[in-house]
């Protein structure tokens, strides 16, 4: 692609802002930035960026409200920048419609990987032939959605209906963190008990069937206090 993608950075700490902007420009992204929520939202509307990096702690407005505001009119990917200890905020941000989060301090490769994943996912939503989405493949794991068949290294693995639902939902959202509540609502419906004990039991069974070593998973990762992230689909 020759067209440079534009990233809008909404972050009030100027040194962090400069660091990220320099990093992104070195990777050939176009960067615009705002140091508060009001400017950020107005740039998001006027500039039509391809992705937004959003700090949650802004001087004029709660970052969660910024996400709600932008989500009223746009599905631009939003990656939240948050501090290490803010588990609750990360969950709120994801549930409000953020696509991902990155925890400070983070390295350039991690930031770039998150940005590439979010941009790729958003370009997919623009329309991909159904056949390309009919299959999930990663490290020897293949999910054939059409045939409802899951294989690991060529061997068929059997899952209960609930396990299949959990697994395919994570696979269809691979690379993205899915919060416990989102997953529970998807599998058991909006009135389900938000206690995640049953989810944990099912996840333990899924891992036992899927992973070579459940203690060191290679397909489904736990984001402690937040949810699960499935490894990227190699097909996309
Ligand atoms: Ca801040």
Q: What are phi and psi of 209, to 5 degrees?
A: -80, -30
62: closest CA among 87, 26, 92?
92
pTM for the model stands at 0.75
Taking the centre of ligand 1 as the mean of its atom positions, its distance from the CA of residue 97, in whole angstroms, is 20
For residues 225 and 122, what is the distance between their CA atoms, to the nearest angstrom? 26
The full DSSP string for 88-154 is: HHHHHHHHHT--EEEESS--HHHHHHHHHHHHHHHHHHT---GGGGSEEEETTEEEETTTTEEEETT
Express each pLDDT in 118-170 by its tens digit.
Answer: 998 887 765 444 455 588 999 999 999 888 899 999 999 999 999 999 999 99
Taking the centre of ligand 1 as the mean of its atom positions, its distance from the CA of residue 62, in whole angstroms, is 10
Express each pLDDT in 161-217 by its tens digit.
Answer: 999 999 999 999 998 899 999 999 889 887 787 778 899 999 999 999 999 898 899
Dihedral sign, Cα of residue 202, residue 207, residue 208, residue 213:
negative
Q: In residues, how long is the chain?
A: 236
Taking the centre of ligand 1 as the mean of its atom positions, its distance from the CA of residue 16, in whole angstroms, is 9
Taking the centre of ligand 1 as the mean of its atom positions, its distance from the CA of residue 108, in whole angstroms, is 19
The mean predicted confidence, pLDDT, of the chain is 89
List, in sequence order, every residue forming a beta bridge with 177; answer none if it has no partner: 229
DSSP label of 50:
S
Taking the centre of ligand 1 as the mean of its atom positions, its distance from the CA of residue 36, in whole angstroms, is 9
């Amino acid at each position: 692609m020759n067209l440079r993608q534009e990233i809008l950075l909404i972050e009030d700490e100027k040194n962090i802002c400069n660091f990220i902007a320099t990093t992104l420009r070195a990777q050939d992204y176009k960067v615009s930035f705002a140091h508060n929520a009001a400017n950020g939202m107005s740039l998001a509307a006027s500039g039509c960026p391809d992705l937004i990096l959003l700090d949650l702690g802004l001087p004029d407005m709660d970052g969660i409200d910024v996400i709600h505001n932008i989500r009223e009119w746009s599905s631009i990917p939003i990656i939240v920048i948050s501090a290490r200890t803010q588990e609750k905020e990360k969950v709120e941000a994801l549930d409000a419609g953020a696509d991902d989060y990155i925890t400070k301090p983070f390295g350039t490769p991690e930031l770039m990987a998150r940005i590439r994943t979010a941009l790729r996912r958003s370009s997919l939503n623009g329309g991909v032939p159904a056949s390309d989405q009919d299959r999930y493949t990663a490290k020897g794991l293949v999910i054939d959605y059409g045939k409802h068949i899951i294989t690991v290294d060529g061997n068929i693995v059997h899952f209960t209906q609930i396990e299949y639902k959990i697994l395919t939902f994570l696979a269809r959202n691979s690379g993205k963190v899915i919060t416990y509540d989102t997953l529970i609502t998807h599998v058991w419906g909006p009135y389900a008990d938000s206690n995640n004990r049953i989810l944990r039991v099912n996840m333990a069974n899924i891992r036992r069937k899927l992973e070579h070593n459940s203690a060191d998973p290679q397909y489904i990762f736990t984001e402690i206090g937040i949810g699960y992230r499935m490894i990227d689909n190699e097909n996309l």
